[in-house]
Amino acid sequence: MPQLVSSKNLLFSNQPLVVGVINTRQLLEEFAKTADPHKSCDLLELRLDTLNLAPEELRPLAARLPLPLLLTARHPEEGGDHHLSADQRREMLHSCLDLATLIDIELRSAIDMQDLIRDAQTRGVGVIGSFHDFPSPPADEVLQGSIDFALQFKFDAVKIATTLQSPADLARLIQLLPNATRRPLCLMGMGGLGPLSRLTLGRCGSLLNYGFLGAPNAPGQLSAPRLREWLNEI
Ligand SMILES: O=C1C[C@@](O)(C(=O)O)C[C@@H](O)[C@@H]1O
């Protein structure tokens, strides 16, 4: 069954949600014209760093997108495009904050971006604290420490994306989920075990599960429609 999630209750969903990534102008234009996108995903992530559009170009298209929006302007050291400075990323997020349901801020930028984080939360925009560790999952203490930091900083959800080298790495992520009672957790693997991890973690309680709409923007992503379909089936 496709899920109809209102912006307000999104972070309280008791079902795994699928995030479709929009990272090209072509996809942005296509989805701005789509009347019924509910089959493929529950919300759309706009990768502002990859799109790198001026607000005058971006806003009219973003305003026509038919699903709740998650805005991301990724830090260059966590996979962000165009080597954007903190000021540029803050400005990108700020210029579209009124259109957002959620924004994603790396935990490493929490202090730099704290005014934006509190501004967003005051306006009812949920803020995800994220951590991307590409080559392999860090030690359990680092994973748990990131979650604890995010909770102390009052992020509304925590997201961790990391390459998985073995099934044991996937098991370590699964074990984090039962501790997530205080805030939603969004966990995903990348690499060869990425697809399996996204299904398993989604079904074990990971809230936001990313899939591609055009071409993958991370190794190990499934397409959003397939992720949606398989999560519904298992
Ligand atoms: O952080 C994430 C997760 C992601 O990297 C993935 O692995 O699907 C895709 C990114 O667009 C998003 O910002």
Report which protein residue has its CA nearest ligand 1's atom 8. Answer: 210
Indicate the top mutation candidate among 128, 206, 217, 222 to test ligand 1's pocket, ranked by most ligand atoms within 8 A of CB: 217
Could you tell me the pLDDT band of residue 6, with boundaries at 50, 70 and 90? low
Whole-number Å distance, alpha carbon 162 to ligand 1 midpoint, is 10
Q: How far, in Å, is the centroid of ligand 1 from the Cα of 207? A: 14
* Segment holding 19, helix H or strand E: strand 17-22
Q: What is the pLDDT of residue 134?
A: 75
| Cβ 188 under 6 angstroms from ligand 1 | yes
3-state percent breakdown (helix, strand, coil) of the chain, nearest 5? 40, 20, 40
CA of 46 from ligand 1 middle (Å) equals 11
Is there an atom of ligand 1 within 6 Å of 45 CB? yes
Q: Which atom of ligand 1 is nearest to the CA of 74?
A: 13
State the pLDDT at residue 78: 94
> pLDDT of 26-72, one tens digit each?
999 999 998 665 678 999 999 999 999 999 999 999 999 999 999 99
| Cβ-proximal residues to 137 (8 Å cutoff; 6+ apart), any chain | 143, 162, 163, 164, 169, 172, 173
- The confidence score (pLDDT) of residue 7 equals 61
Q: How far is the CA of 234 from the centre of ligand 1 (A)?
A: 23
Residue-wise pLDDT for 152-197, tens only, equals: 999 999 999 999 999 999 999 999 997 656 789 999 999 999 999 9
For residue 5, pLDDT beyond 80: no
Q: What angle do CA 18, 1, 12 make, to 5 degrees?
A: 50
d(CA 23, CA 10): 22
Span from the CA of 89 to the centroid of ligand 1 (angstroms): 16
Does the beta carbon of 197 sit less than 6 angstroms from any atom of ligand 1?
A: no
CB distance 50 to ligand 1 below 6 Å: no
Q: Of the ranges 11-15, 55-59, 132-136, 219-223, which one carries the lowest mean pLDDT score?
A: 132-136
CATH class entry, domain 14-233: alpha beta
Convert the pLDDT of each residue in 212-222 to its tens digit: 999 999 999 99
Rounded to an integer, the average pLDDT of 96-105 is 97
In whole angstroms, give the CA distance from residue 212 to residue 224: 5
What confidence tier does 86 reach under pLDDT thresholds 50, 70, 90?
A: very high
* Residue 70 Cβ < 6 Å to ligand 1: no
If you measure from the C-alpha of residue 149 to the centroid of ligand 1, how many angstroms do you get, rounded to a whole number? 20
Q: What is the pLDDT of residues 105-130, one digit of tens each?
A: 999 999 999 999 999 999 999 999 99
- 48 contacts 93 by C-beta, under 8 angstroms: yes
ipTM above 0.95, yes or no: yes
Domain edges within the chain: 14-233
